[in-house]
Structure formats: structure tokens, C-alpha cells
Amino acid sequence: MIKKIQVEPVKYREKYLSTSLLTKAEVEHAMDRVVEQVRQNMICIGGRFPTPAAKDGSYGVIDNIEWTDGFWTGLLWLCYEYTGDGAFRELAERNVESFLNRVEQRIELDHHDLGFLYSLSCVAGYKLTGSGTARRAGLLAADKLMERFRETGGFIQAWGTLGARDNYRLIIDCLLNIPLLYWASRETGDERYENAARRHYQTACNNVIRDDASAYHTFYFDPETGEPVKGVTRQGYSDDSAWA
């Protein structure tokens, strides 16, 4: 059961409806520009990954250790799908091998961002190529994410030692991680993944999303009872501000 929220009317509706749609040529021009930028980045990044944030106007190069690394591999797969150029596929498949090693060795994966990492890299690669390596990596990542599901409260714990009171919380961003569990459930026929994803979704909607449809960044629960405690921010302006 999902609580009801107050839906505000869209302001300036007619203004946006009267704006012309992008043409096919405009979209293709934008896509071609993205493809060229990715090609250039492939030269400097190689088989590694860009840093999560830029410093002095540019991104550094790191090993496969950050929560953002799946985004780069996802770009490679999108470029391959758009152009059919095997260069994108070859580098993406090298990345997939790295992701398999990362999950098998459990390198920097004690957090909830397994979906950001593996849906965009390995699940996407499996869907495009049928790669057994990508499928194995995706399913192992789903298993790793399942370790963070807390029966008491019914949610995926974002960070920290599992069950610890000072980290017994979810964050709104995790809704973008749970598609990994839905995929794993369809792929294996095991309903455990889907049931955990659905319970997390319901818990998030009923707690982290406020009555006016804005969202807290994080939301705490009591580790003994599972009862909701409070919504706070970790990186936003304030506990009462809206996480965007």
C-alpha cells in the first residue's frame, strides 16, 4: 500500500506544450557529438575509469573502485548500440571483465550502489551481446545487493555496517538500484530478488517521500522494531530541503 501524496498542478503548462519538438536531425547531431566525445575519452581513459568528479575542469583516471564506474561503461554500450562500431564493444567488454573481477573479489562494494555499477555495464552488455561473463557478473552483483536487505523495516541499507543503528537507513537514490533485482528475478525465476525490490520500493515511497511529493535524502529506521524514525540529509542543504 503506497500512501497518497499531494500532486501540484504543472505551472506554465501551455508554454511547454507550445514548444516545438526536437527534429530527428537535431537529435542525430547531438548523438554524433556525444559519440565523438566518447571516442576521445577512450584514448585517455583506456581500460580504466574516470573519477567521480572533475578537478580543475577535467576528470582523472582511476581503477574500478568507485560507485560511478558503471556510467562510463554504459556510455560505451550506448555508443556501440547507436553506431555498431566494434571499438566501443571491445572496450566495454574489457570493462565487463573488470566488473566481474570486482564483484568476485568484493572490491569496494559494501554499499547499495550495485545497480548503478552493474545494470549499466554488465546487464546492458548481456542484453546487447548475450555475454555469459556479463550475466554472471550481474547476478553476483544482485546477490551482493541482497545482502544489504534488512527484513526489519523492509529496505536496502545504504551504507555502513549492516544493522548498525547509526547507519540503519535507506536513501532515495536506491530506487535506481533496485532494477538490478527485478532483472535478476526475471533471469533466474527466483522471486526473492523481486520481493526485496518491491518491499524497498514501498518502504521508500511511504517514508522518504513527503506528503507534498518532495523527498528527504535519507531516512532512518529503528533496527529493533523497523519503525520509521526520521528523515535527514547527508549531502543536501538541510534536513527539511528537497533532495533533487
* Catalytically annotated residues: 113, 173
Which long-range contacts (C-beta less than 8 Å, at least 24 apart) are formed by 189-195?
192/146, 193/142, 193/146
The count of residues in the chain is 244
What is the C-alpha to C-alpha distance for residues 118 and 116, in angstroms, rounded to an integer?
Answer: 6
Amino acid at 3: K
- Element (DSSP H or E) covering residue 90: helix 86-105
- In sequence order, what are the residues at sequence separation of 6 or more whose Cβ sits closer than 8 angstroms to the Cβ of residue 81? 128
Determine contact, residues 201/154, Cβ cutoff 8 Å.
Answer: no
Q: What is the dihedral of CA 53, 54, 55, 60, to 10 degrees?
A: 90
